[in-house]
């Protein structure tokens, strides 16, 4: 990213839009580029509070009458010397007709004059008039090397005894995904808490990071206690996942394997899609972040949603290797098919950025998406190569239902042998895993209210009084099955057999 900024400045791009939460860091970087031998440009900074001040100079040296954005751009146009003019937080003003116009004039005027305007802001907001003239760059979060500087400073400041290389490495990795300021704060806090910075403080850094990520509200760290063994059936899907347990290790790279990109799990509601996605975190020993697409959308300002998505993806990348879990993908992108204009095209733009990111990402972020309404899913997702595999999770077969009963009964009682599992599986034909679990819970409530232990008969009664989704929504379920049989890989081996017979 730094490289990109350097190239753009050297290539004399007149208008650069830098999306970043880290003003100071970005500003220093620009100043560094400007002072390089080949450049020798002066750097000026505009803020709405002080107008234009030369970088590194005290505030009172402000250029006369440059507080208003229009006046400031006009001032820049009048300058003869080469220079880089940073406009901080111009976004609330950039949409005003006068500012937009002045910026366009500036671009026209800059040709051959070695002047560059850099708009620096945490969100991307560009009026249509400028869309074609501006280059946008995302200022990436600090990498390990930069974090190392932060950590070194902190260690020096606190005169902490030398930390081992290993501890240092762990402390650095734990802070990946934070801005420079945040990392500094987190290290300081960890130090204040335990008066040292060693391997033991890694936990503090990690938990602080979780809180910071939670605060941004779009990504969420998930902690799932269940393991893949608490899922009944879905043998094919499990095998696929188990086979890839070490897919993100150095060893796999050396072996010549590509990094897995992601998977899509389609299927009937309540059959364990979300659960299996969440348990993959433990299976692979990777953190899992849930991307809440509903929160990505923000109608308050044009460009806000895109910026939200970009930030979230950037954070996920900086934490990688990681799993990015997008539950109910169909809901998230429903608006991007068909009549997309209802929201001014935001959802199709978001969808476009997401696809591009999936296509181009090189960092080890494994996308795990689930969906149950295929007809609402944009076709682009289903094209070969987007995901490594698309699995279809069907209603459980009889054997799978037996597994599911065993798992959920064992979770609640130690003496599972008193139940006739086969009979339970027989009477629950057409039930999903979630419905089986609910039947057991209903049976327990019934018995609990009568102050006795629940029995086989209680469960059967609960099953009989439940109308499963597969019967209330037969058409949808059938349609989904027909669709998926041709395009997706079955998650259960028994279904695979069935499918082979059919073709």
Ligand X SMILES: Nc1ncnc2c1ncn2[C@@H]1O[C@H](COP(=O)(O)OP(=O)(O)OP(=O)(O)O)[C@@H](O)[C@H]1O
Asked whether 260 and 366 are in contact (CB, 8 A), the reply is yes
Out of ligand X, Mg ion, none, what residue 20 binds, judged by CB under 5 to 8 A for its kind, is none
Residue whose CB is less far from Mg ion, 274 or 428: 274
Q: Which of 272, 287, 303, 468 binds ligand X (CB under 6 A)?
A: 272
Provide, rounded to whole angstroms, the least separation between the CB of residue 386 and ligand X. 20
Q: Which of 404, 409, 459, 477 binds ligand X (CB under 6 A)?
A: 404
Q: What angle do CA 434, 440, 444 make, to 5 degrees?
A: 140
Q: Which of 51, 142, 177, 233 binds ligand X (CB under 6 A)?
A: 233
Does 274 engage in binding with ligand X (CB under 6 A)?
A: yes
Residue sitting closest to Mg ion (CB): 274
Packing angle of the helix pair 433-449, 456-464 (nearest 10 deg): 120
Calculate the alpha carbon distances from 210 to 181, 216, 318, 434 in Å. 16, 10, 13, 30
Q: Which of 274, 397, 428, 492 binds Mg ion (CB under 5 A)?
A: 274
CA–CA gap between residue 243 and residue 249 (Å, rounded): 13
Provide, rounded to whole angstroms, the least separation between the CB of residue 177 and ligand X. 27
CA–CA gap between residue 308 and residue 408 (Å, rounded): 39
Provide, rounded to whole angstroms, the least separation between the CB of residue 234 and ligand X. 6
Does 372 engage in binding with ligand X (CB under 6 A)?
A: yes
Does 434 engage in binding with ligand X (CB under 6 A)?
A: yes
Does 273 engage in binding with ligand X (CB under 6 A)?
A: yes
Provide, rounded to whole angstroms, the least separation between the CB of residue 173 and Mg ion. 31
**3-state SS assignment for residue 168:** helix
Does 432 engage in binding with Mg ion (CB under 5 A)?
A: no
Does 154 engage in binding with Mg ion (CB under 5 A)?
A: no
Does 320 engage in binding with ligand X (CB under 6 A)?
A: no
**Contact residues for 239 (Cβ-Cβ < 8 A; gap 6+):** none
Residue whose CB is less far from ligand X, 183 or 484: 484
Provide, rounded to whole angstroms, the least separation between the CB of residue 133 and ligand X. 45
Which span sits near ligand X by CB under 6 A: 104-112, 143-151, 271-279, 494-502? 271-279
Where residue 385 falls (left for φ over 0; alpha for ψ -120 to 50; beta otherwise) is left
Half-sphere exposure of 258 (CA within 13 A, CB side): 8
Of residues 61 through 120, those in contact with ligand X by CB under 6 A are: none
Does 280 engage in binding with Mg ion (CB under 5 A)?
A: no
CA–CA gap between residue 122 and residue 89 (Å, rounded): 8
Asked whether 318 and 22 are in contact (CB, 8 A), the reply is no
Residue sitting closest to ligand X (CB): 433
Q: Using alpha carbons, select from 108, 100, 106 the residue that is nearest to residue 128.
A: 100
Provide, rounded to whole angstroms, the least separation between the CB of residue 279 and ligand X. 10
Out of Mg ion, ligand X, none, what residue 219 binds, judged by CB under 5 to 8 A for its kind, is none
Provide, rounded to whole angstroms, the least separation between the CB of residue 325 and Mg ion. 10
**Contact residues for 113 (Cβ-Cβ < 8 A; gap 6+):** 82
Asked whether 201 and 154 are in contact (CB, 8 A), the reply is no
Out of ligand X, Mg ion, none, what residue 372 binds, judged by CB under 5 to 8 A for its kind, is ligand X
Does 20 engage in binding with Mg ion (CB under 5 A)?
A: no
Calculate the alpha carbon distances from 343 to 294, 340, 352, 381 in Å. 14, 7, 15, 21
List contacts with Mg ion (CB under 5 A).
274
List contacts with ligand X (CB under 6 A).
231-234, 267, 269-275, 370, 372, 404, 407, 433-434, 437
């Amino acid at each position: 990213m730094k490289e990109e900024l350097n190239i753009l400045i050297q290539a004399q791009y007149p208008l650069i839009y830098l999306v970043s939460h880290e003003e100071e860091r970005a500003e220093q970087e620009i100043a560094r580029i400007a002072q390089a031998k080949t450049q020798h440009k002066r750097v000026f900074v505009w803020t709405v509070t002080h107008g234009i001040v030369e970088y590194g100079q005290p505030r009172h040296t402000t250029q006369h009458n440059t507080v208003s954005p229009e006046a400031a751009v006009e001032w820049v146009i009048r300058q003869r010397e080469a220079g880089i003019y940073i406009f901080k937080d111009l976004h609330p003003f950039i949409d005003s007709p006068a500012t937009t116009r002045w910026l366009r004039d500036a671009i026209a005027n800059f040709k051959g004059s070695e002047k560059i305007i850099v708009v620096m802001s945490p969100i991307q907001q560009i009026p249509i008039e400028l869309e074609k003239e501006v280059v946008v760059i995302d200022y990436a979060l600090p990498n390990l090397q930069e974090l190392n500087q932060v950590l070194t400073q902190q260690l020096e400041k606190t005169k902490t005894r030398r930390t081992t290389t290993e501890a240092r490495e762990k402390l650095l990795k734990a802070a990946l995904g934070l801005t420079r300021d945040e990392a500094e704060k987190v290290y300081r806090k960890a130090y204040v808490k335990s008066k040292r910075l060693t391997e033991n403080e890694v936990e503090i850094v990690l938990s602080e990071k979780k809180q910071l990520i939670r605060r941004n509200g779009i990504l969420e760290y998930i902690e799932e206690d269940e393991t893949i063994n608490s899922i009944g059936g879905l043998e094919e899907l499990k095998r696929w996942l188990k086979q890839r347990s070490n897919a993100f290790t150095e060893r796999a790279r050396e072996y010549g394997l590509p990094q897995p990109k992601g998977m899509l799990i389609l299927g009937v509601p309540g059959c364990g899609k979300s659960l299996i996605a969440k348990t993959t975190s433990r299976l692979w020993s990777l953190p899992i972040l849930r991307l809440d697409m509903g929160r990505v959308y923000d109608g308050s300002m044009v460009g806000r949603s895109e910026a939200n998505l970009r930030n979230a993806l950037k954070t996920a990348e900086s934490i990688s290797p990681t799993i990015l879990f997008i539950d109910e993908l169909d809901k998230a992108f429903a608006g991007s098919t068909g009549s997309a204009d209802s929201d001014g095209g935001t959802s199709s733009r978001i969808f476009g950025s997401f696809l591009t990111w999936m296509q181009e990402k090189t960092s080890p972020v494994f996308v795990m998406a689930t969906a149950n309404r295929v007809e609402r899913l944009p076709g682009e997702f289903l094209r070969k190569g987007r995901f490594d595999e698309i699995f279809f999770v069907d209603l459980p077969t009889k054997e799978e239902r037996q597994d599911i009963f065993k798992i959920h009964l064992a979770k609640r009682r130690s003496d599972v042998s008193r139940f006739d599992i086969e009979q339970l599986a027989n009477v629950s034909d057409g039930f999903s895993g979630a419905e089986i679990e609910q039947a057991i819970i209903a049976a327990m409530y019934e018995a609990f209210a009568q102050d006795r232990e629940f029995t086989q008969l209680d469960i059967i009664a609960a099953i009989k009084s439940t109308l499963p989704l597969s019967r209330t929504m037969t058409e949808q379920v059938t349609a989904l099955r027909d669709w998926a049989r041709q395009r997706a890989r079955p998650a259960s081996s028994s279904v695979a057999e069935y499918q082979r017979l059919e073709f």
